[in-house]
Amino acid sequence: MILRSLGNLFMALSAVMLALPIVVVCGAALNSGRSMFFPPRDPTLVRFHEFFVSEPVWVEALTNSMIIAFGSAALAVLIAWPVAYGLWARGDKASKFLAGLGSMPFALPPIVFGVGLGFLWTFLGVLGSIWAGVVSHAALFLALPIVTISIGLQSIEKSHLDAAATMGATRAVAFRTVILPQTIPYTVSGFFFALVLSFNEFIVMFFVSASSYSTVTLQIFNSLRNGYTPTMAVAAITFIFVSVVVFSAVARWGDLPRLMGAEPTKS
């Protein structure tokens, strides 16, 4: 029993350690002055108003972040579907190669991919356009929906497909009535994983934006040199909040342990 309490202590300690810098940043957001202190002096919520409403720099950065996150996540899911479907339906060497290729940007150091995308968009003459940013993130996070959709497709029971076929369903009908409904939670999870990671991504966006627009993370990095302001901490809170909400939703409506690779529970 000593061992169990030691284990609990270790888990609690890990949680504290993990939360420590986050708590510090969040606390600093309540400062009323221009400098960041912890614990905050004269707690106020003015900084939240600045971030969301009154400071054009931050509002614009937030808008860009949202456009890129939603756009790239949607695009990543659209590209990932046929890749994952091919991998599941055919499972040949070519499909595996394609899936591996799609996961490559995520597996290798992002700074290299960022430099390469910078060159690519320069050649195409679209460096610094926000759409190039959307496509860049879609490529970077393509691996996530490929993985979640693959997990979803593998969970479809063969008997359902056989039943559909016996009852005379065409391929298209079977796809619409059996495959699609069963994989929607996994598709949505993939979308949200890509969304949240895109929201927080820094280095690739740094190279492809070419300073012609900024996202929240870029804006924060730019402000690092001038010292921290509490408004930056508000940005951090917003991002953490979005992550917690999104992953809670995935846990609530999807099967988070399964998505993370735990053995499926027999029901």
Partner 1 sequence: MSVVSEPSSAVPQMAAAAAAKRLPLARIGIWAVTLFLCLTPFLLVIAISFGQKIEGASWEWAFSFANYQRVFVGANWPEEFTALYLQKLYYSLYYAVIASVLAVITAFPFTYLMTGLSKRAQSAWLVFILSSLSLSEVFIVMGWDVLLSNRSGLPMVFKATGLTQWLKDVGWFETLRDWGLANPRDVKFKTSVFATVLTMAYLVWPYAVILLYPPLSRLDRSMTEAARTMGAGPWTVMRTVVLPAVRLPLMGSVLLLFVFLLGVYVAVTVFAEPAKQTMAVSVYEAVRGNTLNAPFGSAQAVILLLTAGLFLALGQWLTRRNAS
From candidates 77, 147, 149, 174, binder to partner 1 by CB under 8 A: 174
DSSP characters for 115-175?
A: HHHHHHHHHHT-TT-HHHHHHHHHHHTTHHHHHHHHHHHHTS-HHHHHHHHHTT--HHHHI
Contacts of residue 66, defined as CB under 8 A and 6 or more positions apart, other chains included, come to 199
From candidates 40, 71, 102, 185, binder to partner 1 by CB under 8 A: 102
Applying CB under 8 A, does 108 fall inside the site for partner 1?
Answer: yes
From candidates 29, 69, 73, 138, binder to partner 1 by CB under 8 A: 138
Identity of the amino acid at 111: I
Nearest to 140 by CA among 218, 67, 199, 63: 199
Are the CB atoms for 123 and 212 separated by under 8 Å?
no
Alpha-carbon distance of 244 to 251, in angstroms, equals 10
Applying CB under 8 A, does 165 fall inside the site for partner 1?
Answer: yes
Applying CB under 8 A, does 266 fall inside the site for partner 1?
Answer: no
User: Environment class of residue 47 by beta-carbon count within 10 Å: exposed (0-12), middle (13-18) or buried (19+)?
Assistant: buried
From candidates 77, 117, 147, 188, binder to partner 1 by CB under 8 A: 117
Q: Which stretch binds partner 1 (CB under 8 A): 43-51, 125-133, 134-142, 180-188?
A: 134-142
CB of 259 to partner 1, least distance (A): 9
> How many C-beta neighbours within 10 Å does residue 113 have?
21
Contacts of residue 226, defined as CB under 8 A and 6 or more positions apart, other chains included, come to none
Collapsed DSSP state (helix, strand, coil) of residue 267: coil
Q: Which of residues 204-263 bind partner 1 (CB under 8 A)?
A: 206-207, 217, 220-221, 224, 228, 232-233, 235-236, 239-240, 243-244, 247-248, 251, 256-257, 260-263
Alpha-carbon distance of 89 to 81, in angstroms, equals 12
From candidates 115, 126, 128, 155, binder to partner 1 by CB under 8 A: 115
Q: Which of residues 81-100 bind partner 1 (CB under 8 A)?
A: 82-83, 86, 88-91, 98
Applying CB under 8 A, does 49 fall inside the site for partner 1?
Answer: no
CB of 45 to partner 1, least distance (A): 19
CB of 256 to partner 1, least distance (A): 5
Applying CB under 8 A, does 36 fall inside the site for partner 1?
Answer: yes
Applying CB under 8 A, does 61 fall inside the site for partner 1?
Answer: no
Applying CB under 8 A, does 79 fall inside the site for partner 1?
Answer: yes
Applying CB under 8 A, does 170 fall inside the site for partner 1?
Answer: yes
CB of 7 to partner 1, least distance (A): 5
Applying CB under 8 A, does 16 fall inside the site for partner 1?
Answer: no
Alpha-carbon distance of 34 to 241, in angstroms, equals 23
